[in-house]
């Protein structure tokens, strides 16, 4: 919610996805076939910058930034997102508000609560820009 980073999973069709992680300084894309794009350019792993690093260890790719880490297990196409306690109650999106309160996990991008799953998902959909 503070704009430090965003995590977007982009469905590209035919079961292909890319994960896009944007920080205040960089945009990192984990592409199909274990490719990495940083700020528009294909780069090799490992990649290290001031506010983000990407490491490939066997079947896992880990993207780490200030207060977050995202692990992607390639064969199982499983993602794990870990957050620092500093982000407690400061997140928004499809993964909830990270405050251990179920009642407000379906908060829309307008910060209004809803019980309608379609409205909730639609409000966080990214088209031409992040919300």
Q: CA-to-CA distance for 67 and 102, rounded, in angstroms?
A: 23
The predicted structure's pLDDT at residue 13: 67
Band the pLDDT of 1: cuts 50, 70, 90: low
> pLDDT at residue 63 above 70?
yes
> pLDDT at residue 128 above 70?
no
> pLDDT at residue 10 above 90?
no
Task: Assess contact for 61 and 74: CB atoms under 8 A.
Answer: yes
Q: Which two tokens stand for residue 128?
A: 């031409």
User: Going by DSSP bridges, is the β-strand pair 60-65/52-57 parallel, antiparallel, or unpaired?
Assistant: antiparallel
Residues of the chain with pLDDT > 90, as a percent, come to 29
The whole-chain average pLDDT of the chain stands at 86
User: Going by DSSP bridges, is the β-strand pair 41-43/27-31 parallel, antiparallel, or unpaired?
Assistant: unpaired
**Mean pLDDT, residues 84-88 taken together:** 87
The string of pLDDT tens digits covering residues 25-46 is 999 998 888 889 999 999 999 9
The string of pLDDT tens digits covering residues 11-24 is 776 767 788 898 98
Chain centroid to Cα 66, Å, comes to: 13
The predicted structure's pLDDT at residue 129: 47
This prediction has a pTM of 0.78
């Amino acid at each position: 919610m503070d704009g430090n980073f965003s995590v977007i999973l982009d469905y590209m069709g035919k079961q292909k996805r890319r994960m896009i992680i944007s920080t205040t300084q960089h945009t990192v894309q984990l592409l199909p076939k274990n490719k990495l794009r940083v700020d528009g350019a294909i780069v090799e792993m490992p990649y290290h910058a001031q506010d983000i690093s990407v490491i490939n260890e066997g079947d896992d790719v880990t993207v780490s930034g200030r207060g977050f880490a995202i692990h992607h297990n390639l064969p199982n196409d499983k993602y794990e997102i870990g957050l620092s306690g500093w982000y407690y109650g400061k997140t928004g999106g499809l993964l909830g508000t990270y405050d251990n309160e179920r009642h407000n996990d379906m908060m829309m991008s307008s910060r209004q609560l809803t019980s309608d799953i379609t409205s909730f998902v639609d409000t966080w959909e990214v088209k031409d820009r992040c919300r």
